[in-house]
Amino acid sequence: MSKVMIFAGDSITQSGEYIDYISETYPASLLLNKGFNGYKVTDLAKQWQSICLEYQPDVVTVLVGVNEVIDTMRGYPNVEQTFYSAYKDVIEQTRAATQADIILMEPFIMAYPKKLFNWMLVTKRFVNAVDRLAAEYDTGLVKLWDIFNKADASIMTVDGIHITPQGHKLIAEAWIEEYKRISAVKGVD
């Protein structure tokens, strides 16, 4: 069945590689890449009508959080609270205006190079926020934190944040598995 699928997020989404892998499994669907370099969930929330809602999507996927981690590491105040409330806004706007399945993807950073190890501790707080939102709103959840922490970072990332084709393939596989789980629960394909 043909569906409209929105993939919204930051530069990881913007690169489009994991979306290309997903399109191989869902060739009849329209997959729209709405990733923007440097975007945070606040940017998405402000532009959600034009990024997502005007397309009346069947599936909405969001992957953000890394740029918020960077802001936190720079000492900006209230980043976590703003992240949570803006993410809630995106979910609530989507629920109010569409019947779309929503899939949240956890942010991730790998300690490669090792200097990013401390960033991982901050990232985990954003991961926990995404997990809380997924539970609160009963959305799909792709647990990228666990996936990338079990993977060999030296072949998954070039800088701890941006990922290689192997990393994009892991995201695609995890997304497909979660989407199939959601579809099975709903009794649709």
Q: pLDDT 10s per residue in the chain (189 long)?
A: 689 999 999 999 999 999 999 999 999 999 999 999 999 999 999 999 999 999 999 999 999 999 999 999 999 999 999 999 999 999 999 999 999 999 999 999 998 888 888 899 999 999 999 999 999 999 999 999 999 999 999 999 989 999 999 999 999 999 999 999 999 998 876
In a domain, 46, yes or no: yes
Q: How many domains does the chain have?
A: 1
Residue 109 counted as domain residue: yes
- Torsion, Cα of 155, 159, 160, 162 (10° steps): -80
Give the domain CATH number at 147.
3.40.50.1110
Q: Assess if residue 40 is contained within a domain.
A: yes
Contact partners, residue 74, CB within 8 Å, separation at least 6: none
Assigned domain for 176 exists? yes
Residue 130 within any structural domain of the chain: yes
Report how far Cα 102 is from the mean position of its chain's Cα atoms. Answer: 10
**Residue 189 falls inside a structural domain:** no
Q: Is residue 67 part of a domain?
A: yes
**Which residues lie closer than 8 Å to 180 by C-beta, 6 or more apart?**
none
